[in-house]
């Protein structure tokens, strides 16, 4: 079952007016950037455009099930917080929030909905997001009975918000970016965006301009504050400290760079880059961690045919002084080599696909080089590039030159420092959200 945020429904930016509304439908009544509210909205006697939500629900009732409902995951006893990333860039911050919340209050359970299951090491319950219909939202809320809802920007589902309002569930909208925030308005219902956003008890805007535009559309000023992004904590990849010490002793300070999770189709690219960098730094060692450990021998053979002196970890070789390419093909050692190498190039980000987040080496102090494929695969890529927390390459052939540049200690340290700052920013916003949620649920 696919979630409301991922079914390809037409979504319209909350704070932007379309160039031309459909003939005969009139203006949607949303707020243009920097403009005053346009077109009057139908209002209830209380002055709130609640009729827009009622009309939306009438148009999206959903299908009622007959017979036995499909089983859902078990709802544990005690308080339960529902978190939903309306946009993928909020996922990391919400998972960090969940981890820190449960460290503070172990009895509070966290349910995450979305289109993609979180990592197995994150202690949250998971279910695919309910459809944005009355029936689906009611079934979902009746089963889980959440004590609070935290919605992470992006597309906001009117029926879900409305049904949560009826149940008096405290609702938080976080990382509200006015350029991305949207409400599903397939029917062009005047006032729907305003009515939906007013359903949230607290709205945490990314920037002051976002807060201004949210107040402009009609969200009460006392509910809106500028909080920035939540903390994006990244669990440190494990390693054995004794192995770390042993490897550092063998390397004796020689320069090292790492190809992490390299697929075989990128072997030639990494070897050519190493040849170019090695011409300027003769003691340089390339450590390759294959994306599949069983292909380690094939990597070593190709490096040997390219003229390098090689070693294979699964064979018991150590990265000794005369070695130029070392294939680290043992399972579970990526964290070790990211700690050893001051430079990490993301394998799969140049010609294929990578499962490694650029935040993983960055969190361990290794400067990150990422190819053009990483942008579509990792939501944190753009922000890291803007903050100078990684070296983004548009041309894979630039890899060798990028390695040469980062071999200068100041260059690598600058990237690593920016990445560390990014990984730790947002701690204050996360602390504030935890405090407000716990207060809302009486903890």
Percent of the chain with pLDDT over 90: 51
What is the spatial distance between Cα 360 and Cα 363, in angstroms, rounded to a whole number? 5
pLDDT band at 70 (very low <50, low <70, confident <90, very high): low
**What is residue 176's predicted lDDT score, i.e. its pLDDT?**
92
pLDDT band per the 50, 70, 90 thresholds, residue 38: very low
281 vs 397: CA distance, rounded Å: 18
Report the candidate in 400, 425, 82, 21 with the shortest Cα–Cα distance to residue 234: 425
pLDDT score recorded for residue 37: 37
pLDDT in tens, 271-288: 999 999 999 998 999 999
* Among 41-45, 118-122, 235-239, the range of highest mean pLDDT: 235-239
CA distance 307 to 99: 48
Average pLDDT over residues 104-118: 88
Is the confidence at residue 210, as pLDDT, over 80? yes
CB atoms within 10 A of CB 178: 23
User: Would you state the pLDDT for residue 7?
Assistant: 38
Q: Tell whether the model's pLDDT for residue 12 goes beyond 60.
A: no
Do 118 and 131 touch, CB atoms closer than 8 A? no
Q: Is the overall model pTM greater than 0.95, yes or no?
A: no
Chain mean pLDDT for the chain: 83
Task: Kindly state the average pLDDT of the residues 19-27.
Answer: 37
What pLDDT does 180 receive? 84
Min mean pLDDT across 29-43, 170-184, 358-372 is at 29-43
Phi-psi category of 37—alpha, beta or left, where left has phi over 0 and alpha has psi -120 to 50?
Answer: beta
Report the C-alpha gap between 383 and 389 in whole angstroms. Answer: 8
pLDDT digits (tens, 9 = 90+) for 39-48: 333 333 333 3
Q: What is the pLDDT of residue 8?
A: 36
Calpha distance 309→303 (Å, rounded): 8
Q: What is the mean pLDDT of residues 48-72?
A: 65
Q: Which of 442, 441, 352 is nearest to 147 (CA)?
A: 441
Structure confidence by residue, pLDDT tens digits, 416-431: 888 777 766 778 889 9
How would you classify the pairing of strands 109-114 and 80-84?
parallel
Lookup result for tokens 């990333």:
85
Query: In angstroms, what is the C-alpha Rg of the chain?
Result: 26
Would you tell me how many other CB atoms lie within 10 Å of the CB of residue 411? Answer: 16
Coil vs helix vs strand at 290: strand
Out of 18-27, 149-158, 308-317, 354-363, give the one with best mean pLDDT: 308-317
Cα angle 112, 118, 123 (rounded to 5 degrees) comes to 70
Please name every residue paired with 152 in a beta bridge, in sequence order, or none if there are none.
Answer: 174
Query: For the residues of 185-244, what is the DSSP string, one character each?
Result: -TT--TTHHHHHHTT-SEEEESSHHHHHHHHHHT--GGGEEE--PPP---PPPP--HHHH
Strand partners, 82: 111, 149
pLDDT (tens digit, 9 = 90+) per residue, 299-339?
A: 999 999 999 999 999 999 999 999 999 999 999 999 999 99
- Give the residue carrying structure tokens 């753009």: 382
pLDDT of residue 25: 35
**Cβ-contact 290, 260 below 8 angstroms:** no
Segment among 36-45, 86-95, 132-141, 361-370 with least mean pLDDT: 36-45
Say how far apart CA 210 and CA 68 lie, in whole Å.
45
Cα–chain-centroid distance for residue 271?
A: 31
Residues 6 or more apart in contact with residue 410 via CB below 8 angstroms = none
- Find, among 408, 420, 422, the residue nearest to 257 by Cα: 408
Find all residues with CB under 8 Å of 193, minimum gap 6, and list them: 14, 28, 30, 183, 185, 217
For residue 295, give both structure tokens.
């292909």
Specify the DSSP element, H or E, that contains 128.
Answer: strand 125-128
Q: State the number of CA atoms in the 13 A half-sphere of 288 facing the CB.
A: 34
Nearest to 90 by CA among 228, 236, 224: 228
Read off the pLDDT band of 374 (50, 70, 90).
confident
Q: Give pLDDT, residue 369.
A: 94
Predicted local confidence at residue 64, as pLDDT? 59
pLDDT at 401: 94
Q: Look at residue 16 and tell me whether its pLDDT is greater than 70.
A: no
pLDDT digits (tens, 9 = 90+) for 256-267: 999 999 999 999
Predicted confidence band of residue 62 (pLDDT cuts 50, 70, 90): low
Q: In what order do the strands lie in the sheet with 12-13?
A: 12-13, 182-183, 155-156
Q: State the pLDDT at residue 293.
A: 94
Q: What tens digit of pLDDT does each residue of 84-99 get? A: 998 877 787 888 899 8
pLDDT tens, residue by residue, 144-182: 999 999 999 888 999 999 999 999 999 999 999 988 888
CB 366 within 8 A of CB 388: no
The full set of domains in the chain, from first to last, is: 4-63+77-232+426-440 (3.40.50.2000), 241-424 (3.40.50.2000)
């Amino acid at each position: 079952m696919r979630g409301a945020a991922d079914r390809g429904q037409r979504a319209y930016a909350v704070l932007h007016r379309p160039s031309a509304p459909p003939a005969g439908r009139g203006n949607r009544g949303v707020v243009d950037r920097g403009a005053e509210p346009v077109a009057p909205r139908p209002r209830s006697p209380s002055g709130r455009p609640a009729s827009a939500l009622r009309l939306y629900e009438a148009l999206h009732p959903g299908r009622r099930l007959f017979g036995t409902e499909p089983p859902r995951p078990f709802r544990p006893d005690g308080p339960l917080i529902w978190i939903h990333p309306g946009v993928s860039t909020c996922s990391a911050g919400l998972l960090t929030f969940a981890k820190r919340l449960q460290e503070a209050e172990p009895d509070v359970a966290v349910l995450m909905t979305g289109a993609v299951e979180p990592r197995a090491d994150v202690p949250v319950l998971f279910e695919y997001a309910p459809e944005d219909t009355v029936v689906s939202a009611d079934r979902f809320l009746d089963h889980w009975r959440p004590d609070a809802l935290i919605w992470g920007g992006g597309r906001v589902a009117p029926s879900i918000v409305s049904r949560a309002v009826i149940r008096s569930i405290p609702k938080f909208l976080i990382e509200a970016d006015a350029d991305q925030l949207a409400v599903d308005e397939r029917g062009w219902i005047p006032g729907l965006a305003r009515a939906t956003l007013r359903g949230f008890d607290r709205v945490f805007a990314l920037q002051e301009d976002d807060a201004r535009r949210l107040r402009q559309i009609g969200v009460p000023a006392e509910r809106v504050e500028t909080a920035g992004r939540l903390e994006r904590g990244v669990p440190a990849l494990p390693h054995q400290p004794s192995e770390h010490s042993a490897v550092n002793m063998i390397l004796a300070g020689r320069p090292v760079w790492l190809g992490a999770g390299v697929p075989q189709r990128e072997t030639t690219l990494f070897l050519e880059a190493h040849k170019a960098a090695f011409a300027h730094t003769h003691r340089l060692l390339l450590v390759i961690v294959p994306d599949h450990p069983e292909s380690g021998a094939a990597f070593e053979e190709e490096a040997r045919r390219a003229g390098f002196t090689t070693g294979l970890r699964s064979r018991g070789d150590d990265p000794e002084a005369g070695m130029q390419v070392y294939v680290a093909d043992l399972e579970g050692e990526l964290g070790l080599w990211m700690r050893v190498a001051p430079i990490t190039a993301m394998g799969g980000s140049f010609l294929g696909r990578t499962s490694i987040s650029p935040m993983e080496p960055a969190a361990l102090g290794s400067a990150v080089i990422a190819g053009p494929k990483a942008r579509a695969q990792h939501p944190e890529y753009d922000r890291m590039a803007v903050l100078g927390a990684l070296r983004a390459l548009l041309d894979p052939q630039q890899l060798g030159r990028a390695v040469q540049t980062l071999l200068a200690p100041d260059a690598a340290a600058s990237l690593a420092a920016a990445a560390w700052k990014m990984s730790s920013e947002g701690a204050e916003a996360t602390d504030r959200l935890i405090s407000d949620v716990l207060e809302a649920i009486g903890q």
